Amino acid sequence: MLNRVILIGRLTKDPELRYTPAGVAVAQFTLAIDRTYSNPQGEREADFIPIVVWRQLAETCANYLRKGRMAAVEGRMQVRNYDNSEGRRVYITEVVADNVRFLESSNRTDRDEIPYDSVQGMNGNKPDATKFTAAQRGNKSKSETEPLYPEGKPIDISDDDLPF
């Protein structure tokens, strides 16, 4: 059996970070995902998918994701239920994310460090350590920022250097 979901969309509001009684971080947010077709009035519709993230990934998402930002989420679909105060059973369908990629860079004007690409999830790993400060993103030439940039010259690699 397979339960795998990959979604790309925009956050409808900032993530809500909370902690369980045991101190485990959990964040929730909703992704708005455009449908591929338009309705009869010519307007595009969207689906609003609730996302849940846990532990370090939850804290990182709460710190860096904001309303309107585009993100890719990978995880599993989960359906849970409970009985409300009226005695009716309520079903909730959500995606429990174990990988979130930030698809847009921060629009901040300050010089703080920001995550560049992605955050890996629930296995306790720290977020991707690749961070660039505004100074590092400055006006460097392509040869300074890309060490293998050929500058019009072929790269000489012998067959002994290849791993296959």
- Among candidate residues 6, 4, 122, 137, the one with its CA nearest the CA of residue 71: 6
Examine the pLDDT at 111 and tell me if it is beyond 80. no
Q: Which residue would you say has higher pLDDT here, 28 or 125?
A: 28
State the pLDDT at residue 155: 59
The residue written with tokens 């339960």 in the block is: 3
The residue written with tokens 């397979």 in the block is: 2
State the pLDDT at residue 149: 54
pTM (two decimals): 0.63
- In the chain, what is the straight-line distance between the N-terminal and C-terminal CA atoms, in Å? 34
From the number of C-beta atoms within 10 Å of its C-beta (0-12, 13-18, 19+), residue 26 rates as middle
Average per-residue pLDDT for the chain:
77
- Among candidate residues 51, 49, 45, 44, the one with its CA nearest the CA of residue 65: 51
Task: For 117-151, write each residue's pLDDT tens digit.
Answer: 444 444 444 444 334 444 444 555 555 555 555 55
Sorting pLDDT into bands at 50, 70 and 90, what band is 157?
Answer: low
State the pLDDT at residue 141: 53
State the pLDDT at residue 14: 93
Can you tell me the mean pLDDT for 49-63?
Answer: 94
Q: Is the dihedral of CA 7, 13, 14, 15 positive or negative?
A: negative
> E strands within the chain?
5-11, 16-19, 25-38, 44-54, 70-83, 89-102, 114-115, 118-120, 131-132
Query: Has domain 5-133 been given CATH number 3.40.630.10?
Result: no
Tokens of 46: 């969207």
What are the DSSP calls for 142-161, one per residue? HHHH-TT--TTS-----GGG
State the pLDDT at residue 151: 59
Range in 1-15, 52-66, 114-128 the model is least confident about: 114-128
Three-state DSSP at 62 gives helix
